[in-house]
Amino acid sequence: MGYSTGIVADRRYMNHDPGFGHPESPGRLAAVYDMLDEAYMKQRFVRIEPRKALVEELSRIHRHAYIDRVAATAGRMYSALDFDTIASPDSYDAALLAAGGLMNAVDKVMEGAVRNAFAFVRPPGHHAETTSSGGFCIFNNVAVAAAHARERYGLGRVLIADWDLHHGNGTQHSFYGDPGVLYFSTHQYPFYPGTGSAGELGIGPGEGYTVNVPLQRGQGDAEYLKIFKKILEPVATAYRPELVLVSAGFDICRGDALGGMDVTEQGFVNLTRVLMNIADRWCGGRLVFTLEGGYNHSMMARSARAMLLEMSGETLTGEAELAEIMERADKKTDTLVRKISEQLRPFWPV
C-alpha cells in the first residue's frame, strides 16, 4: 500500500549562486529537479509550496544581529559570510525559502496532509550556528524546523538524524543542553568542522541526547546500516520521538567530490527504511528529510529517486534484506558499535 509523500521543490532555490566552481552550486538541485520531472516521477508526489521564514521563526535558533547581517547581503553582487560560504544577490531570499519550505513540509506531515516529505532546498543548513554561517550553510534549516514543530505543535521529543559526511555542529549546539531534541550524527572524523567526537554527549539536562558516531573514510552500505540498526534504533525506541527529521547529506555517496565514503543508492534506501520504521512505530510515520550536502549530481539524483520510491511505498525493503546486508559489515564496525554503546549505556538501553 502506498503512502502520500510530499516534496518541496522550487526553482528559486537555484538563485542562490556562490560563484563559478563552488561545490554548492545550483546544478545540485538542477539534477534532482530533472529527476522529479521524469514522466514516472512527476505525478507521484504531493507538491508542497515553500514560503519565506519569518525573522521571529529564525530567531528561535539565530541571533537577530546575524539574521540582519545575512539580510544586508540582499541585492549585493557577492558577500563572503565566511571563508567558504558566499552570498549572491538572491541568497537571502533563497535561505528564507529553504527554512520556510522545510517548516511547510513539517506542517503538512504534522497535519496529516502527507505521511512523510522531502524538502529539496538550498542553501543547506546544519553547519550554521546561532551567530554565524559555515560550511556552505546560511540558516540552520533543520534546527529552525525542529524549533517550529515544538512551538507550534507542543512536541516534547523530536529526533534529528544526520548522515551527512560532515558533522552538523550548528544543529548539535542548538540543542546541546535540551532533552526535547535528540541529535544523532554519523560523519567522517576528523574532518570539517572538527566537532562530533564520541565524547560529545550533551550537557546538563541534555546529557545523553547528543549521539555522535565518528567514522573513518571508506564506510559503505553495510557499515552505515549496522550503525543505524544497532545504535540509533534502540536509542530511538527508548526516546519515542513524536517527529523524525533527517539532515540527508548525499556526500557520503560513492564517488562524491568532497567525500570519502562508499554508500550506494541502495544504502540510502536502507537508512530511509530504518528511519521509516522508527517513525511508523512511534509517531504515525511523521518523517521529514531535508537536503544537506552532496556533490556528485547524478548519484545524488539517483539516490534521492530511490529514497522517494521507498518513502511512498513503491518499494519495500524488508527486515530480512536489511539483516543480510548488515552481515557484510566490516568487523571493525562491531568494535565501534561496542565503544559507542558503552558510552551511551548510562543514558540508553543499547
CA distances from 232 to 10, 214, 226, 276, 350 (A): 32, 14, 9, 13, 9
Cα–Cα dist 346/350, whole Å: 9
8 A C-beta contact, residue 177 and residue 206: yes
Range of the domain at 226: 5-344
The answer to whether position 242 is within a domain reads yes
User: Could you tell me the CATH number of the domain that includes residue 185?
Assistant: 3.40.800.20
Per-residue pLDDT of the chain (350 residues; tens, 9 = 90+): 457 999 999 999 999 999 999 999 999 999 999 999 999 999 999 999 999 999 999 999 999 999 999 999 999 999 999 999 999 999 999 999 999 999 999 999 999 999 999 999 999 999 999 999 999 999 999 999 999 999 999 999 999 999 999 999 999 999 999 999 999 999 999 999 999 999 999 999 999 999 999 999 999 999 999 999 999 999 999 999 999 999 999 999 999 999 999 999 999 999 999 999 999 999 999 999 999 999 999 999 999 999 999 999 999 999 999 999 999 999 999 999 999 999 999 999 98
pLDDT value for 3: 75
Catalytic residues: 127
Cα–Cα dist 118/134, whole Å: 23
Any idea what the Cα angle at residue 242 is, between residues 234 and 150, rounded to 5°? 130
Domain count for the chain, please give it: 1
The three three-digit cell numbers of residue 162, written as one number: 544526520
The answer to whether position 349 is within a domain reads no
* Dmax (CA) of the chain: 54
The answer to whether position 317 is within a domain reads yes
| CB neighbour list of residue 264: distance below 8 Å, 6 or more residues apart | 220, 221, 253, 254, 303
8 A C-beta contact, residue 250 and residue 257: no
pLDDT value for 1: 42
Instruction: Specify the amino acid at residue 173.
Output: H
The answer to whether position 350 is within a domain reads no
40 in helix, strand or coil?
helix
The answer to whether position 240 is within a domain reads yes
pLDDT value for 25: 98
pLDDT value for 260: 95
pLDDT value for 274: 98
| CB neighbour list of residue 338: distance below 8 Å, 6 or more residues apart | none
CA distances from 166 to 2, 136, 197, 291, 349 (A): 33, 12, 12, 13, 27
Q: Where are the beta strands (DSSP E) in 104-202?
A: 116-119, 158-162, 181-188
